[in-house]
């Protein structure tokens, strides 16, 4: 029998989820559960590497789990859990720290960017962020890791650490492969269509959050920055705003960009913006209803978290035991 390949990914609960996360990550995560053994974590330990308000971190951890379920990730088909509920992540991260050179961690561009942005809090956790991420992945012998392009350098480091460990001892870790989203899977801020729509976007008007109510979503779409022409055409270079709206429409209406273009060919910009807004609002209507139902049922969410953590712990501890033995710790 063919063993299914293993997929691991995680989302950091810093900032609320956006339709950018949906298109760039979540949608793909759902699709992959059909073909792979998938483990998806809420990377709450990673959130601690930047200043965060305890109550917000806790709320977002529930929110993320509720959204995982509401968008259609089925806990029977994949493993959903909080990173901090599986102590093996922190334990393996320590070991991997000892197999990572200071110079390697220091070269990470995310570390440099984040240190420059928050010079008052360049903590050791921020420095060790990629080794915790490597532990997340290596514990489950993941073959594939869906990540954003900005995380590819971290993935490369995880591969390096895995190979180093395997060479020094004996084959222990699977060397993971990164998978970045398909073309056209990236969407941009509505307020600045040349900048990525991020969960921590400075301009909240440019970002559609999954938690935004329908009126807020519509208002943001109506205000979307376009251009001074009047023709609806997909042309990323010259018409980034219009192209972005067409991309968003195509994803949520489930059609190609060409079809989206054709549907709005004779529309003015206001009609396009309303059309795209309504399509997104409609798409998220049942998801929002399901989210609202789940978030009111903490006991159920905690049960799902626990089941996920139990399944994940079982696998993670097998790898961790092997590692402990190989490096010479007394078992």
Q: How far is the CB of 193 from ligand TRP (least distance, A)?
A: 22
Is 285 a catalytic site residue? no
- By CB under 6 A, is residue 43 in contact with ligand TRP? yes
User: Measuring CA to CA, which residue among 82, 92, 76, 94 is closest to residue 138?
Assistant: 92
Give the nearer residue to ligand TRP in terms of CB position, either 8 or 127: 8
- By CB under 6 A, is residue 136 in contact with ligand TRP? yes
Is 298 a catalytic site residue? no
Binding-site member from 17, 133, 208, 242 for ligand TRP (CB under 6 A): 133
Give the nearer residue to ligand TRP in terms of CB position, either 145 or 187: 145
- By CB under 6 A, is residue 44 in contact with ligand TRP? no
Give the nearer residue to ligand TRP in terms of CB position, either 110 or 216: 110
Give the nearer residue to ligand TRP in terms of CB position, either 13 or 241: 13
Instruction: Please identify, among the stretches 94-102, 133-141, 190-198, 295-303, the one whose residues bind ligand TRP according to the rule CB under 6 A.
Output: 133-141
Q: How far is the CB of 320 from ligand TRP (least distance, A)?
A: 16
| Catalytic residue chosen out of the listed positions 59, 196, 311, 318 | 196
Binding-site member from 13, 24, 38, 46 for ligand TRP (CB under 6 A): 46
Is 318 a catalytic site residue? no
- By CB under 6 A, is residue 151 in contact with ligand TRP? yes
């Amino acid at each position: 029998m063919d063993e299914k390949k293993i997929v691991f990914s995680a989302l950091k609960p810093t900032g609320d989820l956006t339709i950018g996360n949906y298109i760039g990550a979540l949608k793909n995560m759902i699709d992959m559960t059909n073909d792979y053994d998938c483990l998806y974590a809420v990377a709450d330990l990673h959130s601690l590497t930047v200043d965060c308000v305890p109550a917000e971190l806790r709320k977002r951890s529930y929110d993320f789990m509720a959204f995982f379920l509401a968008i259609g990730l089925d806990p029977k088909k994949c493993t959903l859990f909080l990173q901090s509920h599986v102590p093996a992540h922190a334990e393996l991260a320590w070991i991997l720290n000892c197999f990572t050179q200071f110079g390697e961690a220091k070269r990470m561009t995310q570390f440099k960017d984040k240190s420059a942005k928050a010079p008052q809090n360049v903590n050791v956790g921020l420095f060790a962020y990629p080794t915790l991420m490597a532990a997340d992945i290596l514990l489950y012998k993941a073959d594939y890791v869906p990540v954003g392009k900005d995380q590819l350098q971290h993935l490369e480091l995880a591969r390096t650490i895995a190979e180093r460990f395997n060479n020094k001892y004996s084959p222990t870790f699977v060397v993971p492969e990164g998978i970045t989203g398909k073309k056209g899977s990236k969407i941009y801020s509505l307020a600045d269509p040349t900048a990525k729509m991020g969960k921590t976007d400075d301009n909240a008007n440019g970002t559609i959050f999954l938690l935004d109510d329908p009126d807020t979503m519509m208002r943001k779409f109506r205000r979307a920055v376009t251009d001074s022409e009047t023709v609806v055409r997909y042309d990323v270079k010259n018409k980034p705003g219009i192209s972005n709206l067409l991309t968003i429409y195509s994803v949520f209406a489930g059609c190609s960009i060409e079809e989206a273009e054709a549907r709005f060919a004779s529309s003015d910009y206001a009609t396009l913006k309303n059309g795209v807004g309504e399509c997104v609002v409609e798409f998220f209507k049942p998801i929002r209803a399901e989210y609202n139902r789940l978030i009111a049922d903490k006991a159920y969410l905690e049960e799902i978290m626990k089941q996920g953590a139990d399944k994940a712990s079982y696998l993670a501890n097998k790898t961790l035991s092997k590692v402990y033995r190989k490096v010479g710790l007394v078992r």
